[in-house]
Amino acid sequence: MESQLTHHHRFAAHSWGLEKRVVDCLFSLLIVAFFLSWLVPIIAVLIKLDSSGPVFFRQLRTGKDGLPFYCLKFRSMCVNSECDSRQASREDQRITRVGRLLRKTSLDELPQFFNVLRGEMSVVGPRPHMLKHTEQYNGLLENFMIRHAVPPGITGWAQVIGCRGETREVSAMAKRLEADLWYMENWSFLLDIKIILLTIQVCIQDTKHVY
């Protein structure tokens, strides 16, 4: 793991400099001020009325340099013992009624803007995976850990080109990895803007890969 991250440290220096960090913070502050400031109380009430448990779901995921961090989401499932080992699937009985709506609209991901402000994530970058899956795919896919040379993102190139949802086959994760590495090699400010705009379009039009 360390050799891959060290060998590809140039990605972090090239793609995730001060410019990207400043834009991340400004964009996240706008989202928090104009959307989360009133959405959080509304969604919190709906989650509490629908099922017992916390409003926010905190899960350890793999971050920059392979270090774990607590990724924040609105809780969309009943409290269960499989949340750190089993991906959500179609007709998953763990998903609550409110949670299904949150996941279909990707509203459950909004608390990750707090992760961005804390420096644990970027607005755009490779999506973070639960620790078990990082360990699993690192043993199956060559250069898998290269994607962790930079902070993970709320959205990414892989997600807007159709590589989202459950990954049942190794080939599905291989496609995500290919997309992540392409993004890291070709990063630009304009590419990030394009991905953000495409993300909004995908969230509105494509719900078949999210459950």
Cβ contacts of 107 within 8 Å, gap of 6 or more: 39, 43, 74, 101
Asked whether residue 210 is domain-assigned, the answer is no
Asked whether residue 174 is domain-assigned, the answer is yes
Asked whether residue 67 is domain-assigned, the answer is yes
- The pLDDT, as a whole number, for residue 162 is 84
- The pLDDT, as a whole number, for residue 1 is 47
Residues spanned by the domain of 21: 2-205
Percent of the chain with pLDDT strictly greater than 70: 88
Cβ-contact 135, 89 below 8 angstroms: no
Cα angle value 108/99/80 (rounded, 5°): 100
Q: Convert the pLDDT of each residue in 47-92 to its tens digit.
A: 999 999 999 999 999 999 999 999 999 999 999 888 777 888 777 8
Of the two residues 74 and 2, the one the predictor is more confident about is 74
Three-state secondary structure string covering 113-160 = HHHHHCCCCEEECCCCCEHHHHHHHHCCCCCHHHHHHCCCEEECHHHH
